[in-house]
Amino acid sequence: MVGPPQTAIDKYKGLWLPFLNDAGIALNEVDNLRADGVNIVSLGISIYLDGDVIKDRDRAEIKKMVNEFHRNGIRTCLVLNPGHPEFGIDPFSPEASGRPLFERLTPLALEWAAICEKYGVEMFCPANEPQLMAYQKEQDISDWAQQILPRLREVYTGKLVFLAQYTAEGLPRYNLAGYDYVAIGGVGADSDVDQMPWRTEEKIEETLDSLRTLYPGHRYLYFGVVAFTGPDFYWWEPIAPANMRETNPNLPSDFFLVSLEGQAKFYDVFFSKTWDGVDGYFIGAYKGTEYRDKPAEEVIRNWFHTGD
């Protein structure tokens, strides 16, 4: 095992890498990540329903990845991730049954919390997009968050993060008392800022206002902030261009794509409006959202080196 870097962190400047392949790409460019100012990466652990048990994939490989990032001076956050089609449950159906699913997830979450403790992982989040496991049952998410919290604290002394996914309906309000961070996901650009500046800027301001209103007294992270430049993002995303005719027939097929210049402008506007209000960021760095070798990289690098 390789312990985490001992350097002090004033703000988390991270990447969200939801799948093992994304983490491998990042490791191959780790020198560039450090030059960009990245000091932490969030690794997704793919989970799936096998009968009555929720299991993980790639456990040994994830452990190796944690060691490699630590060896290269970058801290880690681990997230159990049901957000993929192989999870085994349609999140938009009553099969996403809330309490029973969370009860099945609890043993695995506790296992991974103990692994995080052993490997010196900086942060642990027990579920990416928990609403995917609780169809129209927000109370079940609050209940589980509180039920599992003391058990997580028994095995893990690092920082505990709980994700509240921003959707078209806004930001949900869960009972997250006791967690170190509330992370807000689902924030990104769906068009160039110059085309619809009011939409982008007001949405960013609304998310930060919502955090402060719904979760007063907490500390905040932005999680999975993205600007899709496509077209290679995951085919199963409902916003993928190939799916637009079916999922969003009233919108143009390129509505959720931004130009390379638009991606850079989005990140500059985003950081300028949120930088002083949160403790850190995890920028989306997977298919269709990559910023490396694009104009956005210079913007992100400049902001991530703020205060150095």
Note the pLDDT tens digit of each residue in 138-197: 999 999 999 999 999 999 999 999 999 988 788 999 999 999 999 999 888 877 766 665
pLDDT tens digits, residue range 35-91?
999 999 999 999 999 988 999 999 999 999 999 999 999 999 999 999 888 898 888
Domain boundaries, the chain: 12-304
Averaged over 260-283, what is the pLDDT?
95
pLDDT of residue 112: 98
Question: For residues 80 and 26, what is the distance between their CA atoms, to the nearest angstrom?
Answer: 19
What's the pTM? 0.93
Dihedral pair phi/psi, residue 295, rounded to 5°: -55, -30
3-state secondary structure 97-162: ECHHHHHHHHHHHHHHHHHHHHHCCCEEECCCCHHHHECCCHHHHHHHHHHHHHHHHHHCCCEEEE
Residue 198: pLDDT over 60: no
Residue 254: pLDDT over 70: no
Residue 307: pLDDT over 70: no
Q: Tell the CATH superfamily of the 12-304 domain.
A: Glycosidases (3.20.20.80)
